[in-house]
């Protein structure tokens, strides 16, 4: 059980500041997810925690111990990357046992650990196969297994599912959730672009923006109480609608945010009215794009198939006044 503390951590590559003073505490056994736009520094922050990059200034501590100058293996971490580089000429078993052999584990101990990890990931039947005889999802599970056998205190994942197709992503996501439930001594940090992965796997999500922490909270805290338009627009899919000018003025805000799922179409007398310009039918739900005269079409989520035709005049209202008000700087507007 390890608590990870980052204190004013900075990282520069030459004159380029990538991580700009991050303060963050990751609790023992927590599943922490890093999200943020491409290039905001997620992988760099993970690599600093892993010890794969040197910290320019600030401190990184595991429990009370500053680990800035320790190597990855001294830190007791294991990392799984987006591209799982397995040794092609070795069986699944040998791929998983390889790191342990280097660490001079006894033969029985190695066998026990590999079998235990294989069982956890349901790859026991494939232990004698070569990587090329596996599907992408199975290979990624081997890569995760290779990290598990080392019994890390801290488990780091950098977009481990992004090379998998949609169905395999879902399946492997569930494996990772189960893994976290089983490895209750292990702290996990997970980088992803995927909303669903972030919302479903995380105990807490850390939203990064341009090398800084923008907000940290449980998935529901970020969804219900985003502390900036940046977080509001980043968490939730499809994206929150943002309205300005007269639409926001009516709510005494500079920017008004309303999620597509918090809007409903009414027969008459809604808060806003406009023509349906386009609809998307996903089967279980649909999205209506309505031109209410704002800069962007208003997106409204509906259960089932779209109930209207393009060109129809629709009235729309926020359900239960479920809106988010922001000031000029993009932070919550005062009442």
Ligand X SMILES: Nc1ncnc2c1ncn2[C@@H]1O[C@H](COP(=O)(O)OP(=O)(O)OP(=O)(O)O)[C@@H](O)[C@H]1O
**Contacts of ligand X in 8-37 (CB under 6 A):** 13, 16, 18, 36
Closer Cβ to ligand X, 12 or 135, answer by number: 12
The entry of Mg ion, ligand X, none that residue 164 binds, CB within 5 to 8 Å by partner kind: none
Nearer to ligand X, 159 or 261 (CB): 159
- Residue 2 or 43 having the CB closest to Mg ion: 43
Q: How many residues bind Mg ion (CB under 5 A)?
A: 1
Look-up of token digits 């386009």: 278
Alpha-helical segments (H) within the chain: 42-50, 72-75, 92-102, 107-120, 136-148, 166-182, 195-201, 219-224, 229-234, 245-249
Interaction of residue 229 with Mg ion, rule CB under 5 A: no
* Measured distance CA(13)–CA(18) in Å, rounded: 7
| 236 touches ligand X by CB under 6 A | no
CB of 177 to ligand X, least distance (A): 22
44 binds ligand X per the rule CB under 6 A = yes
CB of 213 to ligand X, least distance (A): 13
| 3-state SS, one letter per residue, for 230-247 | HHHHHCCCCCCEEECHHH
Q: How far is CA 5 from the centre of its chain?
A: 20
Nearer to ligand X, 43 or 241 (CB): 43
How far the first Cα of the chain sits from its last, in Å, is 42
Q: Residue 58's Cα: distance from chain center in Å?
A: 25
Cβ distance to ligand X smaller for residue 94 or 210: 210
Candidates 6, 9, 32, 41; binder of ligand X (CB under 6 A) is 41
CA 135, CA 2: separation in Å to the nearest integer? 34
Of 224, 262, 228, 245, nearest to 296 by C-alpha is: 245
Q: Which does 44 bind (CB under 5 to 8 A by kind): ligand X, Mg ion, none?
A: ligand X
Binder of ligand X out of 9, 24, 31, 43 (CB under 6 A): 43
With CB cut-offs between 5 and 8 Å by kind, which of ligand X, Mg ion, none does residue 13 bind? ligand X
Task: Tell me the DSSP string of 103-126.
Answer: TT--HHHHHHHHHHHHHHTT-GGG
Tokens of residue 222, six digits: 């970020």
- State yes or no: residue 42 binds ligand X (CB under 6 A): yes
Tell me the closest approach of the beta carbon of residue 201 to ligand X, in angstroms: 17
Smaller CB separation from Mg ion, 40 or 176: 40
Q: Is the preceding peptide bond at 238 cis, omega within 30 degrees of 0?
A: yes
Task: Give the three-class secondary structure for 71.
Answer: coil
User: Contact with Mg ion (CB under 5 A): which of 4, 19, 26, 43?
Assistant: 43
43 vs 186, which CB is nearer to Mg ion? 43
Nearest distance, CB of residue 190 and Mg ion, angstroms: 12
Q: Let me know: does 64 contact 120? Beta carbons within 8 Å.
A: no
Applying CB under 5 A, the residues found at the interface with Mg ion are 43
Applying CB under 6 A, the residues found at the interface with ligand X are 13, 16, 18, 36, 38-44
């Amino acid at each position: 059980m390890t608590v990870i503390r980052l204190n004013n951590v900075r990282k520069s590559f030459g004159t380029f500041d990538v991580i700009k003073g991050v303060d963050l505490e990751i609790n023992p056994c927590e599943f922490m997810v890093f999200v943020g736009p491409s290039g905001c520094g997620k992988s760099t922050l993970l690599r600093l925690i892993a010890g794969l990059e040197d910290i320019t200034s600030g401190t990184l501590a595991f429990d009370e111990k500053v680990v800035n100058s320790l190597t990855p293996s001294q830190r007791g971490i294991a990392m799984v990357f987006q591209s799982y580089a397995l040794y092609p000429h070795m069986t699944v078993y040998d791929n998983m046992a390889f790191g342990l052999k280097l660490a001079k584990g006894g033969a029985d101990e190695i066998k026990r650990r590999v079998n235990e990890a294989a069982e956890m990931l349901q790859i026991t039947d494939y232990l004698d196969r070569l990587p090329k005889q596996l599907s992408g999802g199975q290979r990624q599970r081997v890569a995760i297994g290779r990290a598990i056998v080392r019994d890390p205190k801290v488990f780091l994942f950098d977009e481990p599912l992004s090379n998998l197709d949609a169905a395999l992503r879902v399946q492997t996501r569930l494996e990772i959730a189960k893994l976290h439930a089983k490895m209750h001594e292990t702290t996990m940090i997970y980088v992803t672009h995927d909303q669903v992965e972030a919302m479903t796997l995380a105990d807490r999500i850390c939203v990064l923006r341009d090398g800084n922490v923008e907000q940290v909270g449980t998935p529901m805290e970020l969804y219900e109480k985003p502390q900036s338009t940046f977080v509001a627009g980043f968490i939730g899919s499809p994206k929150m609608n943002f309205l300005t000018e007269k639409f926001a003025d009516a709510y005494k805000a500079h920017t008004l945010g309303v999620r597509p799922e918090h809007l409903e179409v009414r027969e008459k007398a809604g808060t806003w009215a406009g023509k349906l310009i386009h609809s998307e039918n996903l089967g279980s739900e649909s999205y209506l794009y309505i031109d209410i005269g704002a800069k962007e079409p208003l997106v409204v989520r509906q259960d089932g198939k779209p109930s209207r035709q393009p060109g129809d005049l629709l009235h729309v209202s926020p359900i239960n006044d479920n809106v988010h008000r922001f000031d000029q700087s993009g932070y919550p507007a005062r009442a």
